[in-house]
Each structure stands twice: as C-alpha cells, then as structure tokens.
C-alpha cells in the first residue's frame, strides 16, 4: 500500500508541485483533514500545532520540513527528521522521505 503523506504548504503552486512530486515518487499525497498519515511535509512557516499533528494518531508521524528560512531562523517541530530549504529537487525530497521511513 502506498504511504500517505500530509502536505502542509500555504502556497497553492508549491502544494500542487509537491503533490505531483510525491505521486511520481510513489506516495499518496493527502490534504489537511485526512486521518492516519505516515509522514508530514511541512512548511514550518505554515503554523501547524502539535495538537493538529497529533490528530493523526497517538504518535506524531515523522516530519520533513521544507522551508524558505534557514533552520536557525525557524522553529521546527521535534519530530523533524529532515530539514530542506526551498527550492528542492525531487531527488532531495526522495532521500529525505526515505530517511523518514528508515528512522
């Protein structure tokens, strides 16, 4: 079964890009409101609280941050397994998600 990945991205075009990229990498992209996700792609500027992340289960899924800010200027959630700065190549996204599932 395809892994379900929640995309938290405020920019419509970037969201569309990420959804398409995830699809090409063999994942299923889901939007906010979907239950039971395996990982989260998060723009840390897009304020998603821990409570919101918890809605997807007792354990908060691994988070891959995709940010326009360098990590020292951003408050990434503790579940972050990879922090990428935009713009990202699909190969980087692929590597980061693999790491998320390997962890």
List contacts with another protein (CB under 8 A).
11, 13-14, 17-18, 20-21, 66, 68-70, 72, 85-90
Q: In the complex, what is the shortest distance from the CB of residue 16 to another protein, in angstroms, rounded to a whole number?
A: 8
Contacts of 4 (CB under 8 A, 6+ apart): 27, 28, 30, 34, 36, 37, 38
Q: Which residues pair with 39 in a beta bridge?
A: 5
Residue nearer to another protein on the CB measure, 19 or 79: 19
Minimum distance of another protein from residue 17's CB (angstroms) = 4
- Alpha-carbon distance 70 to 86, whole Å? 10
Q: Which two tokens stand for residue 25?
A: 């990498």
| Residue number, 21 or 79, with CB nearest to another protein | 21
CB of 1 to another protein, least distance (A): 25
42, β-bridge pairs: 8, 65
Specify the residue, 24 or 98, whose C-beta has the smaller distance to another protein. Answer: 24
């Amino acid at each position: 079964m395809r892994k379900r990945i929640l995309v938290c991205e405020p920019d419509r075009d970037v969201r569309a890009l990420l959804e398409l990229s995830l699809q090409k990498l063999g994942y299923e992209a889901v939007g906010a409101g979907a239950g039971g996700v395996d990982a989260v792609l998060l723009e840390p500027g897009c304020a998603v609280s821990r409570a919101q992340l918890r809605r997807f289960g007792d354990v908060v899924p691994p988070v891959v941050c995709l940010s326009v800010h360098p990590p020292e200027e951003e408050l990434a959630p503790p579940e972050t397994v990879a922090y990428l700065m935009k713009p990202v190549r699909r190969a980087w996204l692929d590597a980061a998600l693999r790491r998320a599932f390997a962890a």
